[in-house]
């Protein structure tokens, strides 16, 4: 009698838990519909704990747990078992089964994908999306029997919906896997016979024959495609690509221009083609006029397209036409000023023009949109340095410091720039200068500019010359033909009174120097004087004085033909 009561209570508890589970499950689905995934997951777990026999609840728990536990093989296996259990019990549950099939595809479980899509195809033979999935999984094989099943499935779709280039391309891809050229051509002929005057079908035929290595047939069909529809930009695009692939540069050049004239070809395709064209021909000066003509055509068609100006700018920068490159990027930024990195690129292009007014204008425009961008603030400081507005430069640099704490290379450059400014302020104590150089090296010990400028400053002070030599030697090791580094190294040896070594390095600096420098010529004169070569020393001093005619110390040296410390 007691056993009967206990059994009845257990049944009542079980049924109560199932009812609770069902209610919580419905609530979970409501949360999911409202985008509250966290609540959904929590409620699904509660519902499953109350009733683990409900395969629908188990399925939802399994699907979300598979996503959450992909790196835990045991948890993932358990979650998959729950999803699979529901599919095995209710494959006719179309939504759940389809979603389960997509997940098996995503994780690359081909055997399970074949099982799922095969079962669903037998239950829902009229659903093209199921048949297509099944055929696609079958076709990803080199087994001829599976390829045959895939083609049969594709054929069923064609019977239901008619011949289509999408299905034909899938069948051709399947036959390609087993290198069945005869069936590839057969499928191609079936497509062309269905619509022989379809321009896109002829483009497709040209691409397939090119893939098969039959250049004559490829060009025949591409030509036919262009003749059938002179407005089909894609046909001309593919013919241009074909000429490029076979190395016919003359035909390719002509075809690129034809492609760009097509209004119906999307801008992205044109830009892609033109980018490849520029990349192939930009180094040939004879092609520059042609490239600019093509870019002009594109700008005329799409006068307000950001990416055309960006491409034009990139091309001009490549051929070192920096003023026009900056101008084109300026137009792009007028259209869309939302990209911080492009503003920085624009400032750097302006800097290449060596026109301080242009650089300053670029910096001010950028700061209008991004007043707290540390890199733009740094460039603003550099701009003020070139204008000899050191106080303004320091304001920008100091504002950039707290914003650049996560960018150690930039922070190092800022500290170095401040050190360089303070170095020129002769009235300041040397400790204030060296502190900024030390901070720069703390942020980036490999900052070559800091190492050079710090070493030169110490040499000028006649202080810590061994330290200066160590720092300068690192810059020489990294950049053995850098004129500034060689000059600094020579000057350190001069200060150490190792004059022969100083002469060796000043000679190297003079050798690599492309433009005359008063400071370099001045140093060379001092070093040659100390090496006992008076006439050479005077010649260097005279050259320096021509470049810096107001330098009183140089005037004394030239006039008296001897060395002066001050």
Share of the chain above pLDDT 90, in %: 57
Task: Quote helix, strand, coil % in the chain, to nearest 5.
Answer: 80, 0, 20
pLDDT (tens digit per residue) in 211-233? 999 999 999 999 999 889 877 77
pLDDT interval class at 21 (50, 70, 90): confident
Dihedrals φ, ψ of 520, to 5°? -65, -45
Match 């799922």 to its residue by tokens. 116
Burial class of residue 126, CB neighbours in 10 A (0-12, 13-18, 19+): exposed
For 523, list phi and psi in degrees, rounded to 5: -60, -45
**pLDDT (tens digit per residue) in 501-550:** 999 999 999 999 988 899 999 999 999 999 999 999 999 999 999 999 99
CA distance 364 to 377: 10
- What pLDDT is stored for residue 6 in this prediction? 44
pLDDT tens digits, 107-129: 888 999 999 999 999 999 999 99
Identify the CA nearest to 477 among candidates 519, 511, 448. 448
DSSP 389: -
Rounded Cα distance, 203 and 200, in Å: 5
For residue 223, count other CB atoms closer than 10 A to its CB. Answer: 15
Q: Indicate the Cα dihedral angle 428, 434, 435, 440, nearest 10°.
A: 130
pLDDT at 201 (0 to 100): 93
The packing angle between helices 55-68 and 73-89, to 10°, is 150
3-state secondary structure at position 304: coil
The per-residue DSSP string of 207-226 comes to HHHHHTT-HHHHHHHHHHHH
Confidence band (pLDDT; 50, 70, 90) for 5? very low
Looking at beta carbons, which pairs linking 466-475 to residues 24 or more positions away fall under 8 Å? 468/492, 469/493, 469/496, 474/448, 475/448, 475/451
More confident of the two residues 252 and 224: 224
Residue range 160-177: mean pLDDT, rounded: 90
Q: Rounded CA gap, 107 and 118, in Å?
A: 18
Structure tokens at 519: 């400071």
Q: How many residues does the chain have?
A: 566
Is the pLDDT at 1 greater than 70, yes or no?
Answer: no
Q: Is 17 exposed, middle or buried, given 0-12, 13-18 or 19+ CB atoms closer than 10 A?
A: middle
**Alpha-carbon distance 191 to 168, whole Å?**
7
Question: What sign does the dihedral 246-247-248-249 (CA atoms) show?
Answer: positive
d(CA 314, CA 236) in angstroms, rounded, equals: 25
Q: How far is CA 459 from CA 133, 231, 521, 531, in A?
A: 75, 72, 17, 19
Which residue in 346, 396, 394 sits closest to 374, CA to CA?
A: 396
Contacts of 486 (CB under 8 A, 6+ apart): 476, 505, 506, 508, 509, 512
For 303-345, what is each residue's pLDDT tens digit?
888 888 988 888 888 888 899 999 999 999 999 999 888 999 9
Mean pLDDT of 151-155: 93
């Amino acid at each position: 009698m007691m056993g009967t009561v206990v059994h009845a209570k257990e049944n009542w508890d079980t049924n109560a838990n199932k009812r609770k589970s069902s209610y919580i499950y419905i609530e979970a689905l409501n949360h999911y519909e409202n985008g509250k995934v966290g609540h959904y997951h929590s409620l699904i777990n509660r519902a499953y704990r109350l009733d683990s026999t409900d395969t629908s609840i188990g399925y939802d728990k399994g699907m979300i747990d598979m996503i959450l536990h992909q790196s835990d093989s045991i948890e993932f296996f358990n979650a998959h078992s729950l999803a699979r259990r529901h599919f095995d019990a209710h494959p006719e549950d179309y939504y759940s089964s389809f979603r389960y099939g997509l997940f098996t595809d995503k994780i690359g479980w081909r055997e399970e994908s074949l099982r799922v899509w095969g079962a669903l195809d037998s239950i829902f033979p009229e659903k093209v999306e199921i048949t297509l999935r099944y055929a696609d999984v079958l076709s990803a094989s080199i087994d001829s029997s599976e390829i045959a099943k895939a083609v049969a499935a594709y054929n069923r779709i064609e019977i239901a919906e008619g011949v289509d280039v999408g299905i034909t391309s899938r069948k051709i891809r399947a036959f390609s896997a087993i290198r069945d050229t005869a069936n590839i051509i057969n499928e191609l002929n079936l497509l062309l016979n269905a619509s022989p005057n379809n321009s896109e079908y002829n483009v497709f035929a040209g691409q397939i024959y090119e893939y098969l290595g039959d250049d004559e047939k490829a060009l025949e069909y591409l030509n036919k495609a262009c003749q059938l529809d002179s407005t089909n930009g894609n046909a001309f695009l593919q013919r241009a690509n074909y000429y490029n692939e076979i190395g016919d540069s003359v035909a390719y050049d002509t075809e690129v221009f034809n492609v760009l004239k097509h209004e119906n070809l999307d801008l992205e395709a044109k830009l892609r083609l033109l980018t490849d064209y520029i990349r192939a021909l930009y180094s040939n000066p004879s092609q520059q006029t042609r490239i600019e003509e093509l870019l002009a055509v594109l700008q005329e068609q799409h006068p307000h397209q950001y990416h055309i100006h960006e491409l034009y700018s990139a091309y001009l920068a490549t051929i070192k036409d920096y003023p026009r490159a900056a101008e084109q990027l300026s137009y792009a930024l007028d259209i869309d000023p939302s990209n911080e990195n492009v503003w920085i690129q624009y400032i750097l292009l302006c800097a290449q023009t060596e026109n301080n007014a242009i650089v300053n204008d670029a910096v001010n425009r950028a700061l209008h949109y991004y007043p707290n961008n540390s890199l733009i603030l740094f460039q603003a400081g550099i701009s003020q340095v070139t204008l000899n507005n050191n106080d303004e430069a320091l304001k920008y640099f100091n504002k950039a410091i707290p914003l650049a704490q996560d960018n150690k290379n930039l922070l190092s450059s800022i500290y170095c720039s401040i050190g360089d400014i303070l170095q020129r302020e002769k009235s300041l104590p040397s400790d204030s200068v060296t502190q900024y150089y030390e901070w720069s090296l703390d942020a980036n010990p490999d900052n070559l500019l800091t190492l050079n400028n710090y070493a030169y400053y110490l040499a000028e002070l006649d202080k810590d010359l061994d330290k200066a030599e160590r720092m300068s030697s690192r810059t020489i090791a990294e950049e053995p033909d850098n004129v500034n580094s060689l000059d600094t190294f020579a000057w350190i040896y001069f200060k150490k009174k190792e004059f022969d070594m100083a002469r060796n390095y000043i000679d190297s600096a003079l050798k690599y120097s492309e433009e005359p420098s008063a400071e370099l010529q001045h140093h060379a004169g001092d070093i040659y004087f100390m090496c006992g070569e008076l006439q050479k020393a005077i010649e260097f001093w005279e050259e320096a004085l021509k470049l810096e005619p107001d330098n009183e110390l140089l005037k004394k040296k030239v006039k008296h033909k001897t060395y002066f410390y001050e």
